[in-house]
């Protein structure tokens, strides 16, 4: 952006950021529970292993555990949330509240992802899990509409990549496709990236391509360009995180133009969406502080960058907070936030006509905010 123009545009306020339309593509259902809901559901289920019984203290515990730098402690946070997500009623409530919370933060389109295989301890079937989450999302949309905060939400059915049992991820892919007309927008693989290449699930991705069903793959967070290359070659429409694609770019001594490697150039030229989750990335060691996060370099190089929260509970964050942190770190303005949001809706797994309608809504929202600046 022209520097003179940049100087003329003021930094958006916290209130403007809160009211700005947003798109969240990378939001884990088991990472976004309200602390009070965790307590309520634990009491109902007889789960007694929570580290705190006060909602404020429990929320702080989740954030501190995620910030600890200890992988076992970080993973323990999900042990607690998944433990209370084992009934249809619990899944329905959590999904509905997720949608309400996102809408209250100005999100107009979101995709929430979860692994049905993690919610079978209470005797639910895979299909029952998906049906409960979809029903909860529809309820959340109705509540948000009634509150004057309309939102559209799709779900991403996830397979855990460390489960390499023959046919497992294919079965989860078929589960996703079975419910494609009832709220499931796409498929994903999650879990430990390093050592569990997307190639291990090639059969599932082949099936999804044959069904013309869209999918994203976690790649480029805990592993580098090789993992990203595998995700792309398996047909991923988007990359979950994807930030370590920066390792395939040669910045030299900074005096010349960066040189993109083959993988980075392909991802940029194909407009493969990067689902960047800034605060979460700091917790997992992608950068030491926000000012060093590669999102600014990738954005400047015109990668199809989007912003999401990953796990709102564990990171103690929201879409508004993520935008606020980026504005503070990189002096971004409303025009930058608008482009990131439009990138998000462009990468969303929803029909073209709905994408266009939401894009118009987003543009109008930002026009209105800039009009208030004047």
Positions annotated as catalytic residues are 221
Cβ atoms within 10 Å of 91's Cβ, excluding its own: 26
Residue 148 to residue 151: CA distance in whole angstroms: 10
CA angle 182, 185, 186 (to 5 degrees): 130
Task: State phi, psi for 153 to the nearest 5 degrees.
Answer: -135, 130
Q: Which residue has the tokens 């936030």?
A: 337
CA distances from 76 to 79, 81, 273 (A): 5, 9, 30
CA distances from 29 to 114, 131, 284, 304 (A): 6, 14, 19, 24
CA angle 191, 194, 200 (to 5 degrees): 75
Task: State phi, psi for 42 to the nearest 5 degrees.
Answer: -65, -40
């Amino acid at each position: 952006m022209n520097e003179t123009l940049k100087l003329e545009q003021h930094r958006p306020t916290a209130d403007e950021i809160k009211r700005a339309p947003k798109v969240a593509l990378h939001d884990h259902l088991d990472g976004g529970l309200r602390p009070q809901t965790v307590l309520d559901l634990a009491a109902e289920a007889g789960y007694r292993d929570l580290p705190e019984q006060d909602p404020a203290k429990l929320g702080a515990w989740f954030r501190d555990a995620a910030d600890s730098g200890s992988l076992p402690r970080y993973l323990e946070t999900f042990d607690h949330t998944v433990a209370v997500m084992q009934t249809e009623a619990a899944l329905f409530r959590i999904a509905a509240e997720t949608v309400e919370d996102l809408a209250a933060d100005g999100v107009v389109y979101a995709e929430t992802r979860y692994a049905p295989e993690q919610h079978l301890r209470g005797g639910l079937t895979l299909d029952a899990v998906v049906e409960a989450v979809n029903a909860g999302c529809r309820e959340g949309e109705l509540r948000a509409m009634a509150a004057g905060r309309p939102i559209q939400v799709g779900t991403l059915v996830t397979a855990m990549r460390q489960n390499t049992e023959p046919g497992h991820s294919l079965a989860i892919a078929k589960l996703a496709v079975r419910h494609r007309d009832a709220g499931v927008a796409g498929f994903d693989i999650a879990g430990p990236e390093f050592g569990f290449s997307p190639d291990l699930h090639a059969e599932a991705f082949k099936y999804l391509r044959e069904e013309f069903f869209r999918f994203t793959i976690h790649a480029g967070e805990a592993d580098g360009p090789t993992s990203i290359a595998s995700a792309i070659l398996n047909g991923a429409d988007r990359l979950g995180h994807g930030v370590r694609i920066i390792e395939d770019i040669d910045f030299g001594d900074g005096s010349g133009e960066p040189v993109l490697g083959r993988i980075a150039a392909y991802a940029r030229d194909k407009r493969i969406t990067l689902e960047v989750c800034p605060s979460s990335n700091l917790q997992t060691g992608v950068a030491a502080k926000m000012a060093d996060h590669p999102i600014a370099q990738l954005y400047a190089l015109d990668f199809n960058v989007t912003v999401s929260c990953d796990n709102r509970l564990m990171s103690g964050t929201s879409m508004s907070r993520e935008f606020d942190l980026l504005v503070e770190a990189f002096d971004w303005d409303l025009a930058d936030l608008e482009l990131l949001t439009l990138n998000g809706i462009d990468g969303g797994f929803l029909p073209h006509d709905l994408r266009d309608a939401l894009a118009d809504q987003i543009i109008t929202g930002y026009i209105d905010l800039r009009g208030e600046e004047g």
